[in-house]
Every structure is written in C-alpha cells, then in structure tokens.
Structure 1
C-alpha cells in the first residue's frame, strides 16, 4: 500500500512515551490573533506507534465533490468521535496531556481525534482552515501529533496576502514527523490556512493525529 518507514536515528526506542509539555512548548504569535505552539519530539517511540496505527486503524478512502467532479481524497482517513475508544493507549495519554496543558486557555477539553495516513509524496491536503462548525466564527485550537516520516506543514495568512510582522505575507514551514506536536490556536483556523503539499521527492509514510474540541472539524 505504501513504502516502508525509515526510522529516526534519534528515536530508536520501542517504548512509546510522552515528554512533559510545560516550558518545552515554543509559541509563535502570528497575525490577527492567531498563534502556533510547537513541541518537537514530544513522543518517543513514535516509529513503533506508527507501525501499530498503520496496521490496526480501520483506514478508509474517501471521495469528495470538488470543482464539479468527484475525486479521490489523496490520503486515508479514520475518525474517532466523542466518547469513542482511541486505537492506542498512547493517544489517550496524549489527549489527557493536551487537556491538562491547554484546557484553562481553551476553556474546554479536546473531544475528538481524526487520523490521516499520507502514504507517499502523492498524498496531500490542500490549503484550508478547519472551519466546519464553531471554528468558522470562534477562536479554537487544533492539536496535531505526527508520527512516521516528516512532511512539511505549511501555514500562510488566509488568501496569501499582506506584509509585515508575525508571519504575514510569507509562508511558514514546519517539518513534522517522528513524534512532533504542533498546536494551532486563537483565530488560526479562520485567519490562516495550512497545507501538506504533494512532492516528487521520495518520502516515507506519515500519520497525523488531530485532536479537536467539540463541534470543530
């Protein structure tokens, strides 16, 4: 279905464990009330978790209507709604740790988990914001844990325009994989957009786990 994952030389352990968040999280303020937090290598044993998730999650392919035609979604998906058991205890631990760190600021817990499997460089997600539901009009947070081979997550102001400080007028790039965490907060889903671009370079598979509050997709 996809190529073999080349493991990280910096993460050779089979033990899956989370590091503390706390002061290890680096926040970058963007424009219009948006921000991102990044915590590299939050999860150790990320390659072992990738192996478990890739083989045990009930992945599905989807087709969507775009530009007056129906096309294949270029990645595999799985979604765990509120109250559904997650596919590995490490994801429960990540969910609990994110709630402990962000719930006071967010004002509510993370409730759902969406998983995406990017099999190779042909899989991607186009520029978008998670604006289905309350996030269309309200500030919120989306936390993404990545396991597998790193892929660049790009961020830019919505519409790609503007110049100035805080990232306006330029595209930000974060290579995410092997247990990295990124959290997009404030107005980020409304005023910024993000993407995983296609690439012709040889890249291994990657899984992203997106934790969201209730009513945000």
Structure 2
C-alpha cells in the first residue's frame, strides 16, 4: 500500500514513538447531559513512526455491511483486537496500560479491546453514530481514541440540541469520550474534498454484555 502524507514538523521518523505524560496535561471538556471529553494533544511523541508501522504491519480488512437494504463497502479499512490479544505494536500495549492507570480501572471501565480504522483519503469516513461497547450502548462508558498520521476532524453532535463541536485529531492526539457521551451524543468523520493525508485511529474500549 503506497500513501503519501505530510508528517509532523516535530516528529523524527527514525526515532521510536513514546508516550508523554497524562495527568494534568489532559483537558476535560464538559458537553452537558452527563457527557464529557478528555483531550490530550500530542500524547504519542514521534507518532509518524507509529503510523508507518501500523500502516504496514496491521492485518487490515475491507469490510462490507448492510445499509438501506443493500450491501455496501465500509469506507475505511479496519482491524480489531479482542481482550487479551497481542496488539500490533508495543506502544499500543503501553497506551492501553497508561490509560487504565490514569482512569483507575473502575468496574466495567477497563480498556480491554482495540479497534483500528485506516482512513486512507478524504473519501474514507464514518457516519454519525454512538459506539457500542460489547452488546451495550444503554449506559455510561469510556472510549479512548488515539490518532496518528494526518489530522482529520472528529465532529461530536448532541442528540437533543444538535450542537456540533469539531476536533481535528492526528499526529499522536488522544481523545477520550466518557460519561453519557455514547448515549446523548453522536460522532462522525465526514468525507472531504480537501487534500488530506491518511490517518489511523485506535479505539480502546471496555467490554460489557447486555446482562452485565
């Protein structure tokens, strides 16, 4: 797979990616209705090296799904790693552990899985939705997103008011959605005709069942 993107001016492709501190560097954004976002720009340092490793090493799949009574191609590549799986890069294991340490591993809120999405061009996207965690979307949960590669805009929209907030994410940024966000808000990455480079997002989630 051959893709071209503008690397960060602060990254060294010959250096290993590392994680910066969390703690007080994490900015809490109150969305109302019990929903919140935590933002930590540039959490993964030398993140372009991680992007290149993931782009080349992850077993990417082109999924298809039913939509409006027909089967369509999913407009992005995906890969998923369940509880206890070996993640495709050691930095992702470090990130998973660091997030669990930061948030204290509350019951039902331990990050156990990793879903990866590869947005190759501006034609790749994801429609408005709220994330499921296991089978459930009917309770508060956390979803942590680490973005590497070029920035794409994640839009977050209130289901009740329609208010939209936009967050350009890339080059090692971390965004955590928590509280009621998956129930009271939706998020999306829209297609764009602007010249954008490829981006990979890593979504860490807990695992819940309907009966939990």
TM-score grouping bracket, smaller chain normalisation: over 0.9
In the TM superposition, residue 134 of structure 1 has moved relative to its aligned partner by 5.4
Question: Structure 2 stretches of 5 or more lacking a match?
Answer: none
Question: Structure 1 stretches of 5 or more lacking a match?
Answer: 163-168
RMSD, aligned CA: 1.5
In the TM superposition, residue 15 of structure 1 has moved relative to its aligned partner by 2.4
In structure 1, distance between residues paired with 2:188 and 2:2: 21
Change (3 A) 1:213 1:53: same
In the TM superposition, residue 5 of structure 1 has moved relative to its aligned partner by 2.0
Matched residue of 1:30: which SS?
strand
Name the count of aligned residue pairs: 208
1:93-121 CA-partner distances (Å, limit 9, x unpaired): 00000000013556531000000000000
Q: In the alignment, is the contact (CA less than 8 A) between 1:118 and 1:206 conserved in 2?
A: yes
Aligned residue in 2 for 1:137 = 138
Aligned residue in 2 for 1:186 = 179
In the TM superposition, residue 32 of structure 1 has moved relative to its aligned partner by 1.1
Aligned residue in 1 for 2:164 = 171
Matched residue of 1:110: which SS?
coil
Moved over 6 A (4+): none
Change (3 A) 1:101 1:92: same
In structure 2, distance between residues paired with 1:106 and 1:195: 28
